[in-house]
Amino acid sequence: MKLDLPRYTERFGATSLHGVQRVYELDSGFDDGRSMSETLTRVGNDQIIDIERRMAIVIPIKAERLRLLEGVLSGIPHDCLTIIISNSPRQPVDRYKLEKDALLQFNRFVGRDALILHQRDPGLSEAVKETGYTSILGPDNVIRDGKAEGMVIGMLLAKMAGKEYVGFIDADNYVPGAVNEYVKIFASGIAMSKTPYTMIRVSWIFKPKMSETGLYFSKWGRVSELTNQHLNSLISYYTGFETEVMRTGNSGEHCMSIKLAELLTFSSGYSIEPYEIVNVLEEFGGIIPTVNQDAMDKGVEVLQVETRNPHFHEDKGDDHLKEMMVASLGSIYHSKICPPKLREKILESLRGRSMLDEGQPEPPAPVRIEPFRGIDMQQFAKILSKATTYTQ
Ligand code: GDD
């Protein structure tokens, strides 16, 4: 892959937030000895494959069309470990079983490493309870519903499998080629990172929508635009300079080194993506003390890379957008580093769009999921092996 070097970087304590980088060639071929422009970099196929071997791709899924899941599976490079975490209904039709059958059938043909597990499996809940990771459990002592909860379980499985990197791809993507590009972007970003504590976030070149006149290639979703605006205000408040650096506040397609992932506190449901950025600033922004001195010394990088493929996914309607918007802005609003002025601006944004119910003074505080660094992975793996839906 041939892509820009970062043109602009916002430095915030030990964190470097790089501006969006463009992809010039999806496949940059063999090294032909030609010199490169000093502003571009080439990540060779051998380097990409080497990173893919050390990467797990987590697909969180809840009742998506199987055809879409099959397409996503076909787009994931062969050498990555695929991990599906499902929260699909088991009754009246066992949708989880259908997903598992589809995965096993796919694997029979391609011979690939893959894991699948149901998020609400009592055996999984037992494994997290016994290892003391209770912040992911609901009042019923079972893993809570939510996309973030599925992603965190995926990260635990990636660590358990000895992977160094974990990427996330939604199951409702219509374009397998785009999925493939996301993973190449993850690997290229990792190759470009100068620290082991790194995160690569995908910025879609277009998110097309159907309009009366045909397809309209919009650039920003309504939620992303607002989330990015408020994340940028948070950064500007501390640096004293307005910025537009953050463009991927809601990006579901992103990846992290396990070394970074295991230090982060996550926020439940759909607030996970913006809160990853907020938490990186909380932990490594130099505003509040941290126990993670090694990451402070080596630095944390956030890279954002714009795709060549447009992003076509399932449109889930206005109520869903409202849920995402309130959760996303709520995760910024309730941060301990959110200044009172920004809180007011967030409230104005939400009230102006009638996103808060009558009498609701503020967005609800998203539930937090603690860092998973301290979990005894051997004990976790031993208990998990008894979970009935765990299939490899
Ligand atoms: N395991 C699990 N558990 N997966 C879930 C759950 C859950 O409780 N809820 C949703 N998912 C899965 C979906 O099946 C899908 O594969 C993925 O998580 C994303 O959920 P969607 O409901 O399709 O979200 P979206 O497409 O509207 O929004 C996506 O893009 C946003 C940016 O535009 C999500 O990735 C958002 O998190 C992201 O901010």
**Does residue 317 carry a pLDDT above 80?**
no
222 pocket-lining for ligand 1 (C-beta < 6 Å): no
| One-character DSSP codes across 116-183 | EEETT-HHHHHHHHHTT-GGGB-TTSSBPSSHHHHHHHHHHHHHHTT-SEEEE--TTBS-HHHHHHHH
Pocket test for ligand 1, best of 62, 88, 224, 318 (most atoms within 8 A of CB): 62
The residue whose C-alpha atom lies closest to atom 17 belonging to ligand 1 is 170
Least confident of 315-319, 332-336, 366-370: 315-319
Query: In the predicted model, is pLDDT for residue 212 greater than 80?
Result: no
pTM of the prediction?
0.96
C-alpha 321 – ligand 1 centre gap (Å): 11
Read off the pLDDT of residues 91-125 as tens digits, 9 standing for 90 and up: 999 999 999 999 999 999 999 889 999 999 999 99
pLDDT tens across 176-187, in order?
999 999 999 999
CA of 37 relative to ligand 1 center, distance in Å: 39
Q: 35 pLDDT exceeds 80? A: no
What stretches of the chain show up as alpha helix (H) in DSSP? Answer: 45-53, 66-75, 95-110, 122-130, 147-160, 176-192, 222-239, 258-261, 272-284, 293-298, 318-333, 340-352, 377-384
Token pair in block for residue 204: 């879609």
* Whole-angstrom distance, CA of residue 290 vs CA of residue 288: 7
**Hey, what are 56's tokens?**
């797990």
**Could you tell me the distance, in angstroms and rounded to a whole number, from the CA of residue 170 to the centre of ligand 1?**
6
The answer, yes or no, to whether any atom of ligand 1 lies below 6 A from the CB of 147, is: yes
pLDDT tens-digit map of 65-92: 999 999 999 999 999 999 999 999 999 9
pLDDT reading at 388 higher than 90? no
Q: How confident is the model at residue 213 (pLDDT cuts 50, 70, 90)?
A: confident
60 in ligand 1 pocket by Cβ < 6 Å? Answer: yes
- For ligand 1, say whether the CB of 252 is within 6 Å of any of its atoms: yes
Indicate if ligand 1 lies below 6 Å from the C-beta of 62.
yes
Q: Output the residue whose Cα is nearest ligand 1's atom 3.
A: 147
